[in-house]
Structure 1
Amino acid sequence: MNKFETIEELATYIDEQQVVLLFIKTENCGVCDVMLRKVSYVLENYDYVEKIEILLQDMQEVAGRYAVFTGPTILLFYNGKEILRESRFISLENLERTIQLLEN
């Protein structure tokens, strides 16, 4: 898991990568833990997708910068631009379909 000291470091990293999945979770969130495993399983087929896990309590600036107020939330970025956002009930099919569209 990548460690970022500031929100600026995180934003710069996202801008520098082609495809980034930002997984935002909260403490003591069973749904977050389950969805993290499921999302990680989907990403095993797409090694070019950089996955970043953020604990919202550790970097609260994420909430303001990316308008995230609950976990789990995934944000998929392509060349620094957000192309997919899902919260709470994350559709793995939608995530995979969106990633596959990037391959074409």
Structure 2
Amino acid sequence: MKEVRELKTIGEVDAFLAEHELSFLYVSTPGCSTCESLMPKLRELLDDYSPISFGHADASEVEEVAERFLILAAPIMLLLIGGREYLREDRFVRFGPLREKLDRICGLYQK
């Protein structure tokens, strides 16, 4: 399964995004059953995308992340390229369409 980097401060989030050209940021909250059930599915999905680095931030610990990325509810999944948001999915993610979007974006990015 894809390695997940736990991001505990907004500085760590910023450093993670600066270190990795292709970044997938997952923002969750504690006690959220949807958040907890999506994490293993995302790790499995992102296994197929080696260029994408996977980071996780708990919005209750890193409160600034909600303001920075205009997050109103969790979970939120963001794909960032060079620190810019290219894809946003919320709690009602459908993995088939998400895979298609990732294929398209990664295919364009690698050309």
1:42 aligns with 2:45: yes
Match of 1:54 among 43, 53, 57: 57
C-alpha RMSD over aligned residues: 1.6
Distance 1:57 1:23 in 2: 13
Matches within 5 A, 1:5-84: 5-84=8-87
Distance 1:24 1:5 in 2: 11
Measure the CA separation in 2 of the matches of 1:71 and 1:11. 19
Number of aligned residues: 104
Judged with a 3 Å threshold, the aligned counterparts in structure 2 of structure 1 residues 78 and 33 are, in CA distance, closer, same or farther, namely: same
Residue of 77, 94, 107 corresponding to 1:103:
107
Superposition TM-score, scaled by structure 2 size:
0.82
Unmatched 5+ stretches in structure 2? none
Equivalent pair of 1:23/1:73 in contact (CA under 8 Å): yes
Shift of 1:72: 1.0
**Cα shift at 1:78:** 1.4
User: Following TM superposition, by how much is the alpha carbon of 1:27 offset from its aligned partner in structure 2, in angstroms?
Assistant: 0.7
Letter in 2 for 1:82: E
Contact 2:22/2:79, CA 8 A, preserved across alignment: yes
* Identity value in percent: 25
Tell me: CA distance 1:19–1:70, structure 2 relative to 1, closer, same or farther (3 Å).
Answer: same
Give the TM-score normalised by structure 1. 0.87
